[in-house]
Amino acid sequence: MASAAPAHHAAPSPAGADPAVLRLMVRLVRRGVLLLALGLALFALVEAVSYAAAYPDAASRARIGEFQDSPAVRMMQGLPHAVDTVGGFVVWDGGWMMQSIAAIWALLVTGRLLRGEEETERAEFVLTGPVHAGRVLLLQFLVIGCALLLAGAAVAATLSASDAAAGGSVLFGLGIAGFAATFAGIAAVLSQLFVMRRRVTALTATILGSFYVLRMVANSDDALTWLHWATPYGWMDELHAYRDPNWAALALLLLAPAALAVAAARLRLARDTGGALLAEKDSRPPRDRLLGGPTAFAWRTTRGMLLGWAAGICLYALITGLLVDAVADFIADDPSYRSMLESIGWDAEKMVLSFVGMMGTMLGLFTSLYACWRIGAARAEESAGRLDAVLVRPVSRERWLGGHLALTAAGATLIAFASGLAMWAGIRLTGGGPTLADVLGATLNALPAIAFFTGLALLVYGLAPRLAVALPAAAAFTAYLVEMIGPGLDWPEPVLALSPFHHLEPVPAEPFAPVAAAVLTGLGLVLAALGLLAFHRRDLTGD
């Protein structure tokens, strides 16, 4: 099935074939890149607004540099550089997150355009025209690269409008595009080596996580900063977009994607369509475990997704726990920052607990995104045509989709609990004060909001399946931003009330709000029921 023998390829493509391929690829990514650009722009705007509110004068901004003395902060955020400017602070505080979001989008889209199109056999229709496979791959990569440039431009325009230096903003936006394109290139190469899209995505995501861990090691001690050059995250740390830019780092960010794309194109010419260079053995014994029903099969095909999301979120929670002690000291020593936190509702006597609660909300956002992606797995099963074979047997639509919903709820609950344990472990390693009950209360407190977004994802899947991931994920991210920046900007209560996170009390600083939790959970169940009804009434659709 996965033959590595090279196929006979057509003559070099005439220029007339290129526009048709480009139009097709643009159609496949246009919706996603617009959401990516909007999300990154909003993220950058929140960072810039938060900086202006928290550090209103030069004295308070100068104090941010003291974080370089905290190993935990350094490992997560990197060394502070030009943090006395809006742009420099955004790069230091949220740059790694924006880079990761763009890279995850890039690796998912690359796997879908390259290996996914071959899995569904649509790539064969493109290759029947006067265009060879290597050129198609380069055109696909060109579209992905332009999409990432658009996302980087959105970040640059937002930061420039927020009083950040225009030149540095352009450089940072270009860096984000190059960083994400590097992982698109890695996914493109792996798409030639392995026959399964799922394996390509998992391996690329593992490489992304490994590079982030290497960056943490590089930032842990001054003697290890040379390791920055071994990871794309380190290239971005070395870029220094807003003061004394490092052109060697920019060159790596731009040349690495180009080199990987060329390598992927050459490898593509060495294999057949639908095959891979690393073929699996056909003699492997059959694995028939968890094939007794649709829910068991759904668990079998998505448990890797759960493990990957859980590992990433728990790692972030562990690092957050390590930061609690350093953040507590900083709040205690900075009256202006403490005053800003009080203005958005933090209790002066419970600053540490309020910080834990805020981190619990952020972990709730991540878990909500997992739930959206998990519902997206149901969409993937439908678009690949496997659902047709299931529903011809005595399996109802409600049973099939209800199984996916149950697995999503169980997985989200498991992640919320595990991330609480991970955060508490980080707190204990630094001798922090919050107890296990405090931390678990913070992470489990977000479950009602997660239930709401899970129900929303199911409703969107029932009504508009192609938006099953993008729309609810964007809604969750927007709701989080409203809750984070709205109170500080004195937004009216009706606007703040649109965010499900706003109705949850900041546990453990405040008592749990059972009524609000019950209402959000109930709304999630209603949305899920409507989604099941909509799915029951519509036709199955392809990708």
Tell me the C-alpha distance between 224 and 227, whole Å: 6
pLDDT digit string (tens) for the chain, length 543 residues: 444 444 444 445 555 567 878 888 888 888 889 989 998 998 898 888 878 877 777 777 777 776 666 666 777 778 888 888 999 999 998 899 899 999 999 998 999 888 878 877 777 777 776 777 888 899 999 999 999 999 999 999 999 999 999 999 999 999 999 999 999 999 999 999 998 887 888 899 889 989 988 998 888 888 888 999 999 999 999 999 999 999 999 999 999 999 999 999 999 988 888 888 887 655 556 565 656 678 888 888 888 888 888 988 998 898 888 888 777 776 666 666 666 666 666 665 677 888 888 889 999 999 999 999 899 888 888 887 778 888 888 888 999 999 999 999 999 999 999 999 999 999 988 876 789 999 999 999 999 999 999 999 999 999 998 888 888 988 998 898 888 777 766 788 888 899 999 999 889 988 999 999 999 999 999 999 999 999 999 988 765
Tell me the C-alpha distance between 132 and 271, whole Å: 12
User: Which residues lie closer than 8 Å to 365 by C-beta, 6 or more apart?
Assistant: 446, 476, 477, 480, 501
Taking a C-beta distance cutoff of 8 angstroms, is the pair 425, 318 a contact?
Answer: yes
The per-residue pLDDT for 499 is 94
Question: Tokens 């952020």, residue?
Answer: 362
DSSP characters over 276-326: -SSPPPTTPPP--TT-SSHHHHHHHHHHHHHHHHHHHHHHHHHHHHHHHHH
Strands (E), 349-417: none
The per-residue pLDDT for 4 is 44
Question: In the chain, where are the structural domains located?
Answer: 10-280, 289-543
Question: Side chain identity at 229, as an amino acid letter?
Answer: W
Taking a C-beta distance cutoff of 8 angstroms, is the pair 265, 9 a contact?
Answer: no
DSSP characters over 71-83: HHHHHHH-S--ST
Tell me the C-alpha distance between 519 and 533, whole Å: 21
The per-residue pLDDT for 196 is 83
The pTM is what? Answer: 0.79
The per-residue pLDDT for 223 is 86
In this structure, the dihedral spanned by the alpha carbons of residues 109, 114, 115 and 118, taken in order and rounded to 10 degrees, is 130
The per-residue pLDDT for 143 is 94
Taking a C-beta distance cutoff of 8 angstroms, is the pair 18, 291 a contact?
Answer: no
The per-residue pLDDT for 251 is 96
The DSSP letter of residue 14 is: P
Half-sphere exposure of 396 (CA within 13 A, CB side): 7
What the block records as the tokens of 213 is 């861990």
